[in-house]
A and B are shown apart, each in its own frame.
Chain A
Amino acid sequence: AQKVTQAQTEISVVEKEDVTLDCVYETRDTTYYLFWYKQPPSGELVFLIRRNSFDEQNEISGRYSWNFQKSTSSFNFTITASQVVDSAVYFCALRTYNTDKLIFGTGTRLQVFP
């Protein structure tokens, strides 16, 4: 069975602080894909990143970075120097090669205050 856990329900930071959103996943499959999505207050879901299970390289995109560690089944997301526009709900998701289902965590609401 697949499962994604985002233990942090809500995080509040002040602008320019760094913040890390945690994601822990469970699967028995050896081939799987991990995703992060952003849902701003307007409600749409925006794809941020995909990582497959064979690529443990960390990724950086501007102020965003992702740390994938198979040993701890984690795929954490860090925002450096947060901005008010980063305020949103962030979802981590897992899709395995054998099931075709994309399963989401319950999300972390990030509030960045000026």
Chain B
Amino acid sequence: NAGVTQTPKFQVLKTGQSMTLQCAQDMNHEYMSWYRQDPGMGLRLIHYSVGAGITDQGEVPNGYNVSRSTTEDFPLRLLSAAPSQTSVYFCASSYGRAQGYTFGSGTRLTVV
């Protein structure tokens, strides 16, 4: 099993550009989430999904879109990148509500 796979690992964007961070898991997990990690702020929840076709907002959803067309994939779209979105992004999945999340290796995004 590959676990949770995130691509790309690094990305530099110009302000105003759009892009999609990819996340895929092969563990048949229903729950998936996106987090951003900034110094001193821990991990903040952006969006999450409890199954294919179901998504909801987390703590910091503005400027990001998600969709969940399959159980395996949960892409995160930045609509118009801003320097404030410079961060490390983690995708995670879990089998059930009571289970711990398995995290991907992260995407380091810089917006200039």
The reply to whether the CB of B110 lies closer than 8 angstroms to some CB of chain A is no
Which chain A residue lies CB-closest to B40? Answer: A106
Contact B90 A45, beta carbon cutoff 8 Å: yes
Main SS class of interface, B? strand
Mark A29-56 against chain B: 1 for CB-CB distance below 8 A, else 0: 0000101010000011101001010000
Interface range on chain B: under 10, 10 to 19, 20 to 34, or 35 or more?
Answer: 20 to 34
Mark A76-114 against chain B: 1 for CB-CB distance below 8 A, else 0: 000000000000000100010100111111110000000
What's the A-B contact tally at a CB cutoff of 8 Å?
A: 56
Q: Tell me how far the C-beta of B71 lies from the nearest C-beta in chain A, rounded to whole angstroms.
A: 16
Partner of A50, one of B44, B88, B99: B99
Segment among B13-21, B72-80, B101-109 that sits at the interface with chain A: B101-109
- Give Cα distance in the complex from A92 to B99, angstroms: 14
The reply to whether the CB of B41 lies closer than 8 angstroms to some CB of chain A is yes
Q: How many residues of A contact B (CB 8 A)?
A: 22
By a beta-carbon cutoff of 8 Å, the part of chain B in contact with chain A is 31, 33, 35, 40-45, 48, 50, 56, 58-59, 88, 90, 92, 94, 97-103, 105-106
